[in-house]
């Protein structure tokens, strides 16, 4: 992608020009048939270029805008009824419009400009464009739905520590950040993250925090930052202290209702299996190689013991 390339160039050839773009633009069809992506530079430039990168394809330029005259030059086969660019009123920004929007227009859009008096083209971090198809309701809740898991008594006794796990489900899109803090502290704690996994048309992800036995009497919270047009503030999921956790879990103040015991146990099992598969892949690879070696050893032993017909010695009977 262009992002790592731009980073490498900036390290090898430090430049002063900076371009800024929003990380995500999500558009719902058919309510909005077009998308507008913005780009801002911190100094005067002659041209701003726009590129699109789609998975499995090379990045391609769509057009460039001459800032002095506001003239747009489109790359073939782009037409004015599909993409257009305009200079911002401040003279340091530019907006790209993607018209007649379709699902196939999804991708990461980059703006770029040449650093003055140099041959280096500087790229912004890029904006991911997500087009929600018409079959999704505009009123559908696409924010993360949390389920919490508290430390077990057995883990505390054996490990002298406890693990809080936060499972987030049924969210869209997949851009999400998860942090952990103590309830009354702003310090970000060291936590672990699982992979974001797709489940039909939505996504799920889990994160877990392991704390010492001495910290189990404190309340912790899982802070979720999700790029959704419905979620304007960070979602905070409160985890009670281990003493409070022994009480009825339904009394815990949480943004979302907790699931039933049956559902919780089921999802905890799935999460545990996922963790085991992730952390023991090397072990299973070793087991497969060992079994393969045993099979070859058995075949060799049969051949040596005196059953050449099974081994194919090249002679017909």
Domain boundaries, the chain: 2-132, 145-279, 281-311
Residue closest to 45 by CA, chosen among 99, 112, 98, 105:
112
Per-chain mean pLDDT for the chain: 78
Res 252 pLDDT > 60: no
DSSP assigned state of 71: E
pTM above 0.85, yes or no: no
Paired tokens of 230: 């419905």
Other beta carbons within 10 angstroms of residue 108's beta carbon come to: 21
Measured CA to CA in angstroms, residue 159 lies from 149, 211, 239 at distances of 17, 10, 20
The superfamily (CATH) of domain 2-132 is Immunoglobulins (2.60.40.10)
Q: How far apart are CA 205 and CA 225, in angstroms?
A: 13
Number of helical (H) and strand (E) elements in the chain, helices listed first: 6, 19
Looking at residues 24-36, what average pLDDT do you find? Answer: 85
Q: How far apart are CA 41 and CA 269, in angstroms?
A: 49
Res 314 pLDDT > 80: no
Looking at residues 229-249, what average pLDDT do you find? Answer: 69
Looking at residues 158-170, what average pLDDT do you find? Answer: 92
Measured CA to CA in angstroms, residue 21 lies from 94, 253, 277 at distances of 10, 36, 37
* The pLDDT value given to residue 107: 94
Domain 2-132 identical in fold to domain 145-279: yes
| Strands across the sheet containing 235-239 | 176-182, 220-226, 235-239
pLDDT digits (tens, 9 = 90+) for 94-128: 999 999 999 899 999 999 999 877 788 999 999 99
* The pLDDT value given to residue 313: 43
Other beta carbons within 10 angstroms of residue 225's beta carbon come to: 15
Is cis: bond before 166, omega within 30 of 0?
no
* Dihedrals phi, psi of 53, to nearest 5 degrees: -120, 125
Comparing 43-47, 54-58, 215-219, 264-268, the range with the smallest average pLDDT is 264-268
DSSP assigned state of 33: S
* The pLDDT value given to residue 28: 80
Look-up: residue for tokens 């994160």?
207
DSSP assigned state of 195: P
Beta strands in 16-92 (DSSP E): 19-20, 24-28, 35-41, 47-53, 60-66, 71-74, 83-87
Top CATH class, 145-279: mainly beta
Estimate the crossing angle of helix 281-305 against helix 261-279, to 10 degrees: 60
Query: 36 with 111: CB under 8 angstroms?
Result: no
> SS3 for 219-272, per residue?
CEEEEEEECCCCCCCCEEEEECCHHHHCCCHHHCCCCCCCCCHHHHHHHHHHHH
Q: How far apart are CA 237 and CA 209, in angstroms?
A: 13
Cβ neighbors of 82 (< 8 A, separation 6 or more) are: 98, 99, 100
pLDDT band at 295 (very low <50, low <70, confident <90, very high): confident
- Provide the pairing of β-strand 145-149 with 24-28: unpaired
Look-up: residue for tokens 């598969």?
277
């Amino acid at each position: 992608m262009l992002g790592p390339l731009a980073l490498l160039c900036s390290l090898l050839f430090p430049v002063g020009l900076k371009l800024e773009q929003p990380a995500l633009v999500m558009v719902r069809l058919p309510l909005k048939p077009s998308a507008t992506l913005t780009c801002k530079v911190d100094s005067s430039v002659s041209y701003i270029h726009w590129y699109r990168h789609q998975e499995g394809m090379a990045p391609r330029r769509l057009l460039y805008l001459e800032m002095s005259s506001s003239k747009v030059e489109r790359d073939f086969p782009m037409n004015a009824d599909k993409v257009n660019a305009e200079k911002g009123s401040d003279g340091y920004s530019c907006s790209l419009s993607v018209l007649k929007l379709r699902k196939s227009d999804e991708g990461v859009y980059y703006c770029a400009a040449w650093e003055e008096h140099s041959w280096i083209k500087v790229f912004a971090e890029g904006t991911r464009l997500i087009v929600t198809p018409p079959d999704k309701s505009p009123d559908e809740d696409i924010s993360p739905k949390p389920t919490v898991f508290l430390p077990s008594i057995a883990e505390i006794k054996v490990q002298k520590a406890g693990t809080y796990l936060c499972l987030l489900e049924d969210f869209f899109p997949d851009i999400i950040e998860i942090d952990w803090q103590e309830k009354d502290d702003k310090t970000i704690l060291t936590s672990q993250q699982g992979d974001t996994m797709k489940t039909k048309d939505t996504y799920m992800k889990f994160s877990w925090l392991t704390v010492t036995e001495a910290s189990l009497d404190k309340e912790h919270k899982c802070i979720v930052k999700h790029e959704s047009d419905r979620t304007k503030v960070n979602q905070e999921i409160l985890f009670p202290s281990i003493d409070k956790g022994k009480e009825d879990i339904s009394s815990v103040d949480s943004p979302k209702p907790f699931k039933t015991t049956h559902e919780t146990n089921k999802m905890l099992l799935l999460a545990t299996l996922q963790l085991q598969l992730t952390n023991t892949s090397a072990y299973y690879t070793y087991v497969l190689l060992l079994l393969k070696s045993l099979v070859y050893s058995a075949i060799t032993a049969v051949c040596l013991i005196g059953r050449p017909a099974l081994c194919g010695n090249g002679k017909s009977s």
